[in-house]
Structure formats: structure tokens, C-alpha cells
A and B are shown apart, each in its own frame.
Chain A
Amino acid sequence: MLLGPALGVSAILFSIGVLGVLIRRNAIIIFMCVELMLNAVNLSFVALAQQLGTDGQVFVFFVMTVAAAEAAVGFAIIIAIYRHKETLDLQNLNLLRG
């Protein structure tokens, strides 16, 4: 059974995704790291689906759908921001400051 190893690899991949989000400033790369995390989660879903039934695989299907939708909207926002600010460095994107 590969459940334990699969969950372990999933945890490692997820942590790498978190690390990437934390240490990078480029919006597109952070976006990629988010995809990496989603992928890690998918791995645990699939691993558990092997024993808990195919519901887990259905959830992976939903995650992929949401990821696709997120990518579409996210890139639209990134393009809009880039047009406006000419940069994707998060350090320069501080409009949220009150």
C-alpha cells in the first residue's frame, strides 16, 4: 500500500508550495506555487480514494475545475495590474494599505 508514502510526498510538496509563496515576490511564480499546493492536495485525495472510495477522485476533478477557473480570472487580474503598474512585484503592489 502506498497510502503513507503518498501522504508524506503530498505534505512535502505542499510545504514546498508554501515556501515558494513565502520567499518569492513575483505574482506569476506565487501563482505557480499555489498550483503546486493544489496539486499536493490532489495527491492526498487520490491516495485516500484508493481506500475510501472514488469520491476522492471526484473531488480532484472539482479541484481541477476550480483551479482552471482561478487561473483564468487570476491571469486576467494580473494582466490588468501589469497594464496599470508595469510590474508584478508584490512589494510595489501596496494599494491595500489604508
Chain B
Amino acid sequence: MLEAVFWANAGIAIVSALACITRRSPVASALWLIMTLFATAVMFVLLDAHFIAVLQVMVYSGAIMVLFLFVIMLLNLGDQSATDMKGWFGRVVGLALGVFVMVELWVITKVVPVDQIRLPAGELNRMTVDEGAIAPVAQVLYTTYLLPFLLTAILLLAAIAGAVVLAKREV
């Protein structure tokens, strides 16, 4: 049952991604991307990452994609008359390279170090049931990764300041 849901969402994600990179209109592309992100969020839930799935919907689909659409409308790119797709040569090269990348990644996924597995099957699911969705993540985030977590805060602050400086028309 769960596997069927997973495969269904995997199919939705792949098809939506392909649609995203082939649509002529940026708005359409953005919407197809949101579709992919939602499907991925469902897969996250199936992979026992409930908290991440929530973040995915809120931050990615919510915040970032809204930003995309906002910029597209701001720059008035909604109705592209001409495609921005490359010519046939560029497409063939891109396709060849893309296939190459996929083959290599596929090969790499086959060499997963199985001997490093620390959590037995179902353990994460049991932890989520016992401790809630957030606690297992938060425990690591606020102990081992406390310093990087603080640094991301500074990074976001710097990004906000940078965005303001770059996008402001006049001082």
C-alpha cells in the first residue's frame, strides 16, 4: 500500500519535473515545480521525515516558490512569445549529458555502504511514534549541529542584507 503511494508520487514528481523544464511560460514552469515539490513532500512522509515534509511545503512550496512567481510577475515575464529553449544541437548535447549524469548517479546509488547502517528497519518510525515528529531532528540539530545552525542564521541575515542592497534602485 505504502509502496504504491510512493511510486504514484514518484511518477507525479518526475512527470511534473519534465513538464517544468519544457514549458515555455515561466509561470507554468513554476507551477509544475510546485507540483514536484508537493510530490516530494509526500515521499518525505513515506520516508519517516514528517518534520522535513512540513518544512518542504512551508518553505519551498510556500515561501520560495511564491518568491519565484512574485519575481516573474514583477519583471512581467508572464507571456513569453518566443521560447528560450536552445536549438537542436544544444538540446542533443544537454540530453546526452543529462543521461550520462543519471547513469553515473545510478551507479553510485548501487554502492551504498550497507555496513554503515545504524538504525534497524522501522526504528525511525518507532521513534516518531514515541517522541513525536520534531524531537528526533531537534535533538541532533541543537546538540551536534548547534554551531552550523547558528551560522545559517547569520547566513540568512547576510542574504537579506545583500538582497536589499542589490535590488534597491537608488540609495
A and B touch in the complex (CB under 8 A): yes
**A-to-B contact residues, CB < 8 Å:** 1-20, 22-26, 28-29, 31-33, 35-36, 39, 42-44, 46-55, 57-58, 60-62, 64-73, 75-80, 82-83, 88-89
Supplied contacts A57-B137, A68-B159, A76-B167, 18 more A-B pairs, CB within 8 Å: A2-B47, A5-B3, A13-B40, A23-B86, A23-B90, A32-B30, A35-B64, A36-B33, A39-B36, A39-B40, A46-B44, A49-B124, A50-B119, A61-B55, A68-B63, A72-B163, A73-B166, A79-B74
Please report the C-alpha to C-alpha distance between residue A29 and residue B22 in the assembled complex, in whole angstroms.
10
Chain A residue with the shortest CB-CB distance to B58: A64
Please report the C-alpha to C-alpha distance between residue A49 and residue B151 in the assembled complex, in whole angstroms.
22
Tell me which residues across on chain B come within 8 A of A49, comparing CB atoms: 47, 49, 124
Q: How far is the CB of B25 from chain A (nearest CB, A)?
A: 10
Q: Contact: B75 with A88, CB < 8 Å?
A: yes
B-side interface residues, number (CB < 8 Å): 85
Tell me which residues across on chain B come within 8 A of A1, comparing CB atoms: 121
A-B contact number at CB 8 A: 235
Q: Contact: B118 with A53, CB < 8 Å?
A: yes
